[in-house]
Amino acid sequence: MIVKTSEFLISAVKEAQWPKDGLPEVLLLGRSNVGKSSFINTMVNRKNLAYTSSTPGMTRMLNFYDVNHEMRFVDAPGYGFQKKAKSGYEEFECLMQEYFAKRENLKVAVLLLDVRREPNEDDALMLEFIQHYHIPCLIILTKCDKLSNNQIAKQKKVIAEALSFSKDSFCLFSSLNKTGREEAWKAIEQYL
C-alpha cells in the first residue's frame, strides 16, 4: 500500500457514529501499551496521527482512521486493565461484541502481541473471541527492536504454543525502526 493520505475520522462511542460506507476496516486489538497507536502511525508514516498515550484504559471507544479513502484502521481500547474495574470490562465486551457482530466492513482483526511477553489469559480470550466471529486474524509481534534475532525465534515458539497458532504466520514488527512495515501491509492487503 502506498499511503497518500491518512486522517483521523472519529472516536465513536456508539454504533450511530460508525462511518456509513462500504470501506474495508482493519481492527487493531491488543493489551494496553502493546503498540497499537504506534503501529497505525508507522503504517501511515505519521508521527502522531494515532495518539500514543501512557494512560491506558481512558478510552471506551473505537477510533477510526481513514487511509487513502480506501480503507480504515479501527483502534480498539487496549485490554488488560479491566480486571480492576468490572464495569469497564463489561463495557469493553459490549463495545467489541457489537462491532464484531454487526460490522460488515470488518475484514481482518490484527492482534498485536509484545514479542517479549508470553501471551496471557486476556490475549487468549481475545483470539478466541475473534475466531468465534469467524473474522480472519493476523498476529503481529511488536517491539522486535528490543530483542536479538535469537531471542525473537525463541519467543515466536513460546507465543505460538501458548495460543496454538502457527508461528510461521506471525509478522515481526518494530515501530522504532519500521521493520515489518511492508510485510504487515502485504498481509493486511490480502483481506481488503
Ligand X SMILES: Nc1nc2c(ncn2[C@@H]2O[C@H](COP(=O)(O)OP(=O)(O)O)[C@@H](O)[C@H]2O)c(=O)[nH]1
Residues lying near Mg ion in the complex (CB under 5 A): 36-37
Alpha-carbon gap, residue 59 to 62, rounded angstroms = 8
- On whether the CB atoms of residues 97 and 107 are closer than 8 A, the answer is no
Among 6, 37, 63, 155, binds ligand X (CB under 6 A): 37
Q: Which is nearer to ligand X, 4 or 99 (CB)?
A: 99
Q: What share of the chain is helix, strand, coil (3-state, %, to 5)?
A: 40, 20, 40
Q: Which is nearer to ligand X, 48 or 164 (CB)?
A: 48
Nearest residue to the partner Mg ion, using Cβ: 37
Binding of residue 34 to ligand X (CB under 6 A) = yes
Binding of residue 155 to ligand X (CB under 6 A) = no
In order, the DSSP letters of 90-133 are HHHHHHHHHHHHH-TTEEEEEEEEETTS---HHHHHHHHHHHHT
CA atoms lying within 13 Å on the CB side of residue 62: 29
Site for ligand X in 82-141 (CB under 6 A): none
Among 118, 145, 161, 189, binds ligand X (CB under 6 A): 145
Binding of residue 77 to ligand X (CB under 6 A) = no
Q: What is the largest CA-CA distance in the chain?
A: 47
Cβ 20 to ligand X shortest distance, Å: 26
Binding of residue 32 to ligand X (CB under 6 A) = yes
Task: Look at residue 143 and give the partner it binds from ligand X, Mg ion, none, a contact being a CB closer than 5 to 8 Å depending on partner kind.
Answer: ligand X
Among 5, 53, 97, 131, binds ligand X (CB under 6 A): 53
Q: Which is nearer to ligand X, 72 or 143 (CB)?
A: 143
CA atoms lying within 13 Å on the CB side of residue 16: 0
Alpha-carbon gap, residue 71 to 83, rounded angstroms = 33
Question: Rule CB under 6 A: which residues touch ligand X?
Answer: 30, 32-38, 52-53, 56, 78, 142-143, 145-146, 174-176
